[in-house]
Amino acid sequence: MMSLRVMRSSLLSRVKLLGIAGVRAAHGHEGHVSHHPDGSEPLYYDHRAFPLPDIPFRKELSSHQTALKEKERGAWKQLSQEDKIALYRIKFDQSYAEMNKPSNEWKTVFGGIFILFGITGFVVWWQSVYGECGYREVLWLTIFSL
Same domain, yes or no: 53 and 100: yes
Is 11 inside a domain boundary?
A: yes
- Tell me the residue range of the domain where 53 lies: 43-104
Same domain, yes or no: 55 and 17: no
Is 61 inside a domain boundary?
A: yes
Same domain, yes or no: 52 and 13: no
User: Are the C-beta atoms of residues 68 and 83 closer than 8 Å to each other?
Assistant: yes
Q: How confident is the model over 25-84, as pLDDT tens digits?
A: 444 444 455 556 666 777 788 888 877 888 888 888 899 999 999 988 988 888 999 999
**DSSP structure class, residue 101:** S
Among 4-8, 17-21, 64-68, 116-120, the least confident range: 17-21
Is 26 inside a domain boundary?
A: yes
Residue 30 confidence (pLDDT): 45
User: Are the C-beta atoms of residues 86 and 119 closer than 8 Å to each other?
Assistant: no
Q: Work out how many domains the chain is built from and give that number.
A: 2
Residue 35 confidence (pLDDT): 57
Q: Which long-range contacts (CB under 8 A, 24 or more apart) does 125-128 make?
A: none
Q: How confident is the model over 70-92, as pLDDT tens digits?
A: 988 988 888 999 999 999 999 89
Same domain, yes or no: 52 and 26: no
User: Are the C-beta atoms of residues 57 and 48 closer than 8 Å to each other?
Assistant: no
Same domain, yes or no: 53 and 87: yes
How remote is the C-alpha of 114 from its chain's centroid? Answer: 28
Residue 13 confidence (pLDDT): 54
User: Are the C-beta atoms of residues 122 and 104 closer than 8 Å to each other?
Assistant: no
Which CATH number fits the domain that encloses residue 96? 1.10.442.10
Q: CA dist 60 to 56, 57, 78, 86, 88, Å?
A: 10, 9, 25, 14, 15
Report the predicted TM-score, pTM, of the whole model to 2 decimal places.
0.48
Residue 38 confidence (pLDDT): 63
Is residue 7's pLDDT more than 60? no
Residue 133 confidence (pLDDT): 59
Same domain, yes or no: 27 and 56: no
Assign 2 a pLDDT band (cuts: 50, 70, 90): low
Is 139 inside a domain boundary?
A: no
Is residue 3's pLDDT more than 80? no
Is 53 inside a domain boundary?
A: yes
